[in-house]
Structure 1
Amino acid sequence: MAAKLTRRLPTPNHHGYSVKFCPFNRDVIAVASAQNFGLSGGGMLMVKNLSAPGDGTVSTCIWADGLFDLTFSEQTPNCVVTASGDGSLQLWDVTKSQAPIMVYREHQKEAYSLDWTQTRDSQFFVSSSWDGTIKLWDPNREKSLLTMQGHEALVYQAVWSPHITGCVASVSGDQTLRIWNTKKDTRPVMTIRANQGEVLTCDWCKYNQNIIATAGTDCKIYGWDLRRPGEPVYVLQGHGYPVRRIKYFPFAETQLASVSYDLTTRIWDHSLPNPSLSVLETHSEFVYGLDFSNHVEGLLADCAWDQSVGIYHVLKPGNSGPLTHGGAT
């Protein structure tokens, strides 16, 4: 399987932390970024159109502290939530970028991840923070609906199950993966000792509600079956430095991608004897953000501290047809 860089988009004077595809428009992505590698200065949310000329930027939203993650609303086009180093969350209408619609101020330390549920019966999103908590939010309310506690260190990421309503997975510096039922309890319903170091990222398989992957500072990616959590069902090795984010393909059950501090983006198929399908070496700094398009099969975006976003097309074996969304720059 080949993956080709088809376009590079700049994030001038800002280092990319997170990139996401819009659920409503196949051509739109958003990037959460920070000045000075997130150590000082402000943050910027950049919305880019892959069909637009130049750097593709169609709007920007400015915040006084670095922005570490974002999530698109699954209900309202043009609405995005961002997570900031000052612990606050911001709800933006990206067509009116002067100021956020609402600011949520409950986390006591850096807010580090966001995810909007994609199940049918709710409009909620979750945030996780270096204060060790995960919070459930209704975007129309200033106060959180629920605070989930149980991790013994900072929480790097919390993500909704795409299959089970009210189910959230989270990973932490305490080396664990935890599963939560937001409808019943504020304590985890399952805890798995996941990695041999801090766990930085997790993602659910899109085709099997029991399979979830984790990765972190031990440079490995682990697959877990929640019905038999004692041992991983697969281990992927190849990254030379910590794995910052992983994402399952939305169109293939056993394939996933990862980005790392080793400056690479990698494509994997854990069902194969040699699971490493492609190694992309297009960045010159840590690669932080990663997402797949749910509209265009094989369309992948990443972002890095080298102040750029990469757009790639992942080709199936034997497919060398034309690529979408412009040529490499």
Structure 2
Amino acid sequence: MLHYRTEGFNGCAVKYSPFFDNRLAVASASNFGLVGNGRLYVLELTPNGIVPVKWFTTQDSLYDLAWSEIHENQVLTASGDGSIKLFDCTANDFPVQAWKEHGREVFSVNWNMVQKDRFCSSSWDGTVRIWSPHRAQSFLTLPTHSCTYSAAFNPHNPDLVSCVTSDSYVRVFDLRTPASASNHLVVQIPIHAAPAAPPIPGQPGIPPAATPPAEALTHDWNKYRSTVLATGGVDRAIRTFDIRAPQQGPLATMLGHEYAVRKLSWSPHLSNVLLSASYDMTFGDMDAMRAGPAGPVVGMELGRMGRHTEFVTGVDWCLFGNEGWCASVGWDENLYVWDVRAAMN
């Protein structure tokens, strides 16, 4: 297990480079992201451990990041002041490009893996925006009307964008459709839909009491099943959905964390395994798509790592080498790189 201390800055997100097997980046914030500066770390794995290649200090907290899919030295960041910045590891201490259209904190950024001149962002201002690094302004705004914690492009289809929000919905937008009144919205799935109450003989049906939705904080697309995604949030549950059957409800529901699930990441090597990071100071790997004896899909916990001593806020898989290497960051100012297989039951 390798370790690096982001001293004075609490980790918020970590991502491996899609170009180099030994490079990763960390987005962090001072004072737990409540007030103060942020810092982007670019780190390398060496025979002598993890060493910093460069870091950039920003005026406000950094909550998320995404490596560019078209330039191996550039990293995109999401900031608490509503801005998005693009940094180059070979440049000076200033961003090579910046955008600011969101009215509140930008909480996620994601680069399109297919159409690589696009990226998206989501904000607490209730919008998802689509951008190009070659344009000074966004070219599309997708309203969600709710605080939006996570947005991502489908890794199989460059025109599908998904997000999860504080009102506990998964929304999927298809950019090929006419905007009209729906603003490209094609699928809307309630994550915490209340089950229908069974009717009482001789009495009219009474709708069930409304269950306050728990905020959805994170989601991720399956890298092998183009219509399957997973969600996690405040209610501690991880759910998988198939967007082809939004009325069906969750394919699987996985429990195990004691507090909110902050980050999910499907494995790039195995179609049925995903990592989850939680405010219970642990992160685990789940077998989310295992077929049960009678055929239905069930979920089970494969293992757990508990080295962090504060909220675990970010986790990511390495794309290269033997399957199972991952990185995690947390509010304890620690980054760990380790082999998931060592924690499997």
Q: Shared topology, TM-score over 0.5? A: yes
- Give the corresponding residue for 1:281: 306
| 1:228 partner letter | A
Residue among 213, 216, 229 paired with 1:199: 216
Determine whether 1:156 maps to 2:149.
Answer: yes
Deviation at 1:97, TM superposition (A): 3.7
Secondary structure of the 2:340 match is strand
Secondary structure of the 1:258 match is strand
223-232 or 98-107, which moves further after superposition?
Answer: 223-232
| 2:311 partner letter | F
CA RMSD of aligned residues (A): 1.7
- Give the corresponding residue for 2:196: none
TM-score (norm: length of structure 1): 0.91
Question: What fraction of aligned residue pairs are identical, expressed as a percent?
Answer: 36
Deviation at 1:277, TM superposition (A): 0.5
Alignment of 1:315-326 (within 5 A): 315=341
- Give the corresponding residue for 1:110: 105
- Give the corresponding residue for 1:314: 340
- List runs of 5+ in structure 2 lacking aligned partners: 193-212, 293-298
Alpha-carbon distance in structure 2 between the residues aligned to 1:316 and 1:8 = 16
Q: Which of 1 and 2 has higher RCO (CA within 8 Å, sep 6+)?
A: 1
Secondary structure of the 1:140 match is coil
Determine whether 1:190 maps to 2:180.
Answer: no
Secondary structure of the 1:50 match is strand
| 2:173 partner letter | W
Deviation at 1:54, TM superposition (A): 5.2
Determine whether 1:232 maps to 2:258.
Answer: no
Q: Is the CA contact 2:303–2:343 (under 8 Å) kept in the aligned structure 1? A: no
Q: Is the CA contact 1:10–1:55 (under 8 Å) kept in the aligned structure 2? A: no
Alpha-carbon distance in structure 1 between the residues aligned to 2:190 and 2:42 = 37
* Structure exhibiting the larger radius of gyration computed from Cα positions: 2
Deviation at 1:55, TM superposition (A): 4.3
Residue among 140, 147, 150 paired with 1:146: 140
Residue among 125, 128, 148 paired with 1:131: 125
| 1:59 partner letter | K
Which runs of structure 1 show a deviation greater than 4 angstroms over 4 or more consecutive aligned residues? 316-319
- Give the corresponding residue for 2:39: 44
Determine whether 1:15 maps to 2:15.
Answer: no
- Give the corresponding residue for 1:269: 287
Alpha-carbon distance in structure 2 between the residues aligned to 1:143 and 1:52 = 42
TM-score (norm: length of structure 2): 0.87
| 2:265 partner letter | K
- List runs of 5+ in structure 1 lacking aligned partners: 1-5, 320-329
Deviation at 1:183, TM superposition (A): 3.4
Alpha-carbon distance in structure 1 between the residues aligned to 2:47 and 2:38 = 23
